[in-house]
Amino acid sequence: MRFGFDVRPFLKEETGVGVYLRNLLEHLARIDDQNVYCLFSSSLRDRFPPAKLPPFKNLYFIDRKIPVRCLNYFWACFGWPPLDSFFSFFLDLTHSPSPLILPSRGKKIVTVHDLFALDYPNLAEAEAGWIFPKRVKSSLIQADGIITFSNFMYRDILNRFPYLRAEKIKVIPHGLDPFFLEIVSEQELKEFTLTHSLPSDFLLFVGTLEPRKNLVRFLRAFWEINRRWPSLHLILIGKKGQEEKDLRQLAKSLGIIDKVHFLGYLSRSEVRSFYHLAKALVLPSLCEGFGFPVIEAMACGLPVVISKSSALPEVGGDAALYFDPENTTEMIEAIAAVLTNKELALSLAEKGQERVRKFSWENAAQMTLNFYYDLIGARQ
């Protein structure tokens, strides 16, 4: 059978969608040598790096010089051209890493990470803000299958779209990239600290700088925490989003601009080193369909202090400390608890390293492949 994918989400800087798709395809390549994988990329200027292609035994890859937004517009608004047409043969199934279907003549699966853009289109990234509210409903209806990563999102989808058949929605949790379980030596960390001139004490945030991450409240909370711990810094890692300028201005107005570091997008290796060096990961998001940084930080033995909204408690379990993301006082108290209580911090770190064992990309890939077979009506 022939399966089609759009690999543009990990063409360049990867956010959660790209991390998901890359890991899924890499692990499908390990377990499936029977089916044909048809990977598509397009951009006017950027060519897909061959080194990033998953090592499928049966692979077709096409890279077109088509503007990203132009193709997205035609696919979202007109459902044309079908992905099959680029390969010149029929695709049995296409799997979109977003809630918008990949137009094709065969079966279609979509992936729902979260539905934040439906409630707050003005706070979502520009393209998602205008396309999602108009197209998600029809896309989910047309899709033959829907994959999501938590029971929270499963219930959210059905509550919003009660006319969807529950059996066409499959919960398949993310896996943990084994890279974050690898040991990093003290010497490596010492050299990394010196190279990057890092402060000795800092909190860490990892994620795109966008409104749903609730960073305005977090900066205000950090201002209060920094009054108690003047040596503490805050490091923000991730793709620079639309509100970075406002966050910098807020940090400046609060008098903490020298304590808040905007590092942008970093490599996996660099992020892993930060996980090993920080005091805690803080993820204050208003909405998360899963939350990759949570399990990555846990794998590195870092205490995790996170929002109790959406799917995060399902991911963190009893290995995280929670707060109401809309309650700045509660956020401050949770962070302060980890900073002052060494036994608590150690307990969270130990529980986290045990908890991440349940998140496996091998299992996720096998469950996904089984879902493909179920929809097509075939078995390996």
**Do both 352 and 366 map to the same domain?**
no
Which residues does 78 contact at the CB level (< 8 Å), separation at least 6?
A: none
Number of domains in the chain: 2
Contact, 59 vs 7, CB < 8 A?
no
Which residues does 241 contact at the CB level (< 8 Å), separation at least 6?
A: 125, 208, 209, 210
Half-sphere exposure of 369 (CA within 13 A, CB side): 23
Residue 263's pLDDT band, with cuts at 50, 70 and 90, is very high
**Do both 220 and 168 map to the same domain?**
no
Per-residue pLDDT reduced to its tens digit, 335-355: 999 999 999 999 999 999 999
Is pLDDT at 239 greater than 90 in this prediction? Answer: no
**Pairwise CA distance, residues 253 & 268, whole Å:** 32
**Do both 191 and 322 map to the same domain?**
yes
**pLDDT at 127 (0 to 100):** 62
**pLDDT at 117 (0 to 100):** 83
**Pairwise CA distance, residues 53 & 234, whole Å:** 35
**Do both 351 and 364 map to the same domain?**
no
**Do both 78 and 171 map to the same domain?**
yes
**Segments forming the whole domain that contains residue 293:** 178-358
250-253 contacts, C-beta under 8 A, 24 or more apart: 250/216, 250/219, 250/220, 251/219
Q: Is 17 exposed, middle or buried (0-12, 13-18, 19+ CB in 10 A)?
A: middle
Which CATH number do you get for residue 137? 3.40.50.2000
Per-residue pLDDT reduced to its tens digit, 105-157: 999 999 999 888 888 777 666 566 667 888 999 999 999 999 999 999 999 99
Q: Find where tokens 């938590």 sit.
A: 150
Read off φ and ψ for residue 32, nearest 5 degrees.
-125, 105
Torsion of CA 273, 303, 263, 119, to 10 degrees: 140
Residue 310 in 3-state DSSP? coil
**Do both 141 and 222 map to the same domain?**
no
**Do both 84 and 49 map to the same domain?**
yes
**Do both 299 and 217 map to the same domain?**
yes
> What mean pLDDT do residues 353-373 have?
97
**Do both 203 and 336 map to the same domain?**
yes
C-alpha torsion sign, points 110, 111, 114, 120: negative
> What mean pLDDT do residues 250-275 have?
96
**Do both 208 and 296 map to the same domain?**
yes
Mean pLDDT of the chain: 94
**Do both 330 and 204 map to the same domain?**
yes
Per-residue pLDDT reduced to its tens digit, 44-100: 999 999 999 999 999 999 999 999 889 988 998 888 999 999 999 999 999 999 999
Instruction: Tell me: cis bond preceding 50? Omega within 30 of 0 counts.
Output: no
**Do both 239 and 367 map to the same domain?**
no
**Pairwise CA distance, residues 116 & 98, whole Å:** 13
